[in-house]
Structure 1
Amino acid sequence: MEIVNMGANSPDLGNQALSKVVEIGIASQLDVVEEIDVDLRTNPGNLIQGKVDSIEISGKGLVVKQDLRMDSIQINTDRVSIDPIGALLGNIELTQPTDAEARIVLTEADINRAFASNYMQGKLRGLKMDVDGQPVTIDIQEANLDLPGQNKFIIAATFLMRESNEIKKMSATAIPQIHDDGERISLEILAAEGQGLTLKLVMVILEQLAALLDLRNFNIPGISLKLRQLEAQAGKLVIHANSQIEKVPSM
């Protein structure tokens, strides 16, 4: 393996080389990467002691598992402790987990594309529940999210009730809420419409659609996220999260 030159005369070149290693590692863990940029900041003196002043990761058009696309992501750390010998050989290995802050933007179009993905279609069919004491199985055939702003979701869905072979439609306006210690987004219903639908049925459908926004679906290997704040803006969902980096993704 080529040894990265971290001599005192080329600290910027050393930073660039180590940054490129992290970029390649992250890109190798994702299905699609339109743009990824890593800015690792240190100096030769700190590096010898296993210290990195900061790491900034920014990306655009990152597609993680289940065809979930992030329009943009930005992760910022403070000081990071690494193995200095590994760093000199071009390997970034953390000696202890480090905390970071993350900002993720999901567009309305990307969320709706994910609803139509094979992964979500499998999750939205064969939903079982009781309605007025009778077992009911439903298949959600189509779902659409509208983000009008003011921290609101408007969700419309068309679904089949298998037992009666009826196709029904529903729409609901809801506010996203943070649950499960920052792992999951749930929806508080403000208003709902749909002929012959019970509140329980609407809740089950919304829970399945909100499950797409489980932050564990957006974890890059070695980097976990916990939700801190949500902003449902016009046309996009902005997620602010605390992040813990246990390992730098490698090839």
Structure 2
Amino acid sequence: MFGGLTGLTDPKGTDWGERMLNTVASQTIRHLFTQSESVEVFVRCYPSSKLLQGSIDSFKMSGRGLVIRREFAVEEMSFETDAVAIDFGAVLSGKLNLKQPTQAIAQVILSEAGINQSFNAELVRKRLVNLSLPALTALSGGEPVSFTEVQVQLLPENRLRIMAKADLNNGELIPLSMTVTIAVERRRRISFKDPQTELDLVPEAQQEISRTLSMALAEILDNMVDLDRFDLDGVKMRLNRLETEGKKLIFSGYAEIERIPRSS
């Protein structure tokens, strides 16, 4: 019964339940990510006999160098639950199933490099290229407009500098540069507010159209980042706050865990 659970040779030991559950939980959580540099899981269950009733005291996970859905890099992620009810029978077969939904305190840290990498993800790119919005096509002679070469620089006080190129499909590339303030809305959206264009490096003949296109890009980004689009199956992230700290963007909130997903 326990043969597939590494290191669990003495079920009479006082911590055999914790060690068994740590092994199963680590294997399960690691499979949620396309890649992971490290994933550590700590399950507290004392006395171990409580596990037989499917009751554990707390569940804590911390991961580093994670990739979600093959394209979204997360520098660090951690969450911790209070008491949780699990299916002990499933644990014996190497699975981790919740008997009822639970919540966990969560923190997610993104790096500036990881954020920039995400702009190459298909889920993001398709919302930035070949746009036929009337406000944009009016500037391009009716041709669809694409925003390319998007780069983000993290600034203090929850500000971002965003640089990009606007391709008008007429052979002309318009450089864009602006700063925006980011904030949490309704605990699941990231808003991009108060855009301020920076035109110092834009040729004078392109400054007016650059300003207009920068405002359009800010509006598109403001409607793009909804956490529900990035949720793992069975897990919803909800945010209480965010902050920029050097080259990192730190999110704090909680996760609503309905069930343990099988993969990312």
Give the shorter-chain TM-score range.
0.7 to 0.9
- 2:198 is the alignment partner of 1:193: yes
Partners of 2:187 and 2:211 in 1: CA distance: 26
Q: Secondary structure at the match of 1:34?
A: strand
Q: Secondary structure at the match of 1:111?
A: helix
Per the alignment, residue 233 of structure 1 pairs with 245
Cα deviation for residue 207 of structure 1 reads 4.2
Per the alignment, residue 128 of structure 2 pairs with 124
State the Cα deviation string for residues 73-102 of structure 1 (Å, max 9, x = none): 000100101123333444322111001111
Cα deviation for residue 188 of structure 1 reads 0.5
Partners of 1:219 and 1:11 in 2: CA distance: 37
- CA 1:207–1:58: 2 relative to 1, 3 Å: farther
Per the alignment, residue 222 of structure 1 pairs with 234
Per the alignment, residue 168 of structure 1 pairs with 174
Partners of 1:215 and 1:133 in 2: CA distance: 29
Please point out which of 10, 29, 43 is paired with 2:13. 10
| Structure 1, 91-100 or 197-206: larger mean CA deviation | 197-206
Gaps spanning 5+ residues in structure 2: where? 200-206
Q: Secondary structure at the match of 1:229?
A: strand
Cα deviation for residue 161 of structure 1 reads 1.2
- 2:188 is the alignment partner of 1:183: yes
Q: Secondary structure at the match of 1:69?
A: strand
State the Cα deviation string for residues 144-173 of structure 1 (Å, max 9, x = none): 0000222111111111112x4421011111
2:175 maps to a residue whose letter is K
Partners of 1:46 and 1:13 in 2: CA distance: 12
- 2:255 is the alignment partner of 1:249: no
- 2:144 is the alignment partner of 1:137: yes
Gaps spanning 5+ residues in structure 1: where? none
CA RMSD of aligned residues (A): 2.7
**Do the aligned residues in 1 keep the contact of 2:34 with 2:70 (CA within 8 Å)?**
no
1:12 maps to a residue whose letter is D
Q: How does 1:139-158 map to 2 (within 5 A)?
A: 139-158=146-165
Q: Secondary structure at the match of 1:95?
A: coil
Cα deviation for residue 109 of structure 1 reads 0.6
Partners of 1:86 and 1:14 in 2: CA distance: 13
Alignment TM-score, normalising by the size of structure 2: 0.83
Per the alignment, residue 73 of structure 1 pairs with 77
Partners of 1:84 and 1:118 in 2: CA distance: 39
Partners of 2:90 and 2:154 in 1: CA distance: 46
- Identity between Structure 1 and Structure 2 (%): 28
Partners of 2:115 and 2:137 in 1: CA distance: 34
| Structure 1, 93-102 or 46-55: larger mean CA deviation | 46-55
Cα deviation for residue 68 of structure 1 reads 0.4
Partners of 1:247 and 1:10 in 2: CA distance: 29
- 2:99 is the alignment partner of 1:95: yes
Partners of 1:124 and 1:132 in 2: CA distance: 12
2:36 maps to a residue whose letter is V
Partners of 2:149 and 2:239 in 1: CA distance: 27
Q: Secondary structure at the match of 1:16?
A: helix
Partners of 1:96 and 1:199 in 2: CA distance: 51
Alignment TM-score, normalising by the size of structure 1: 0.87
**Do the aligned residues in 1 keep the contact of 2:137 with 2:143 (CA within 8 Å)?**
no
Structure with greater strand share of residues:
1
State the Cα deviation string for residues 198-223 of structure 1 (Å, max 9, x = none): 76643431344456643235433332
- CA 1:202–1:48: 2 relative to 1, 3 Å: same
Cα deviation for residue 234 of structure 1 reads 1.6
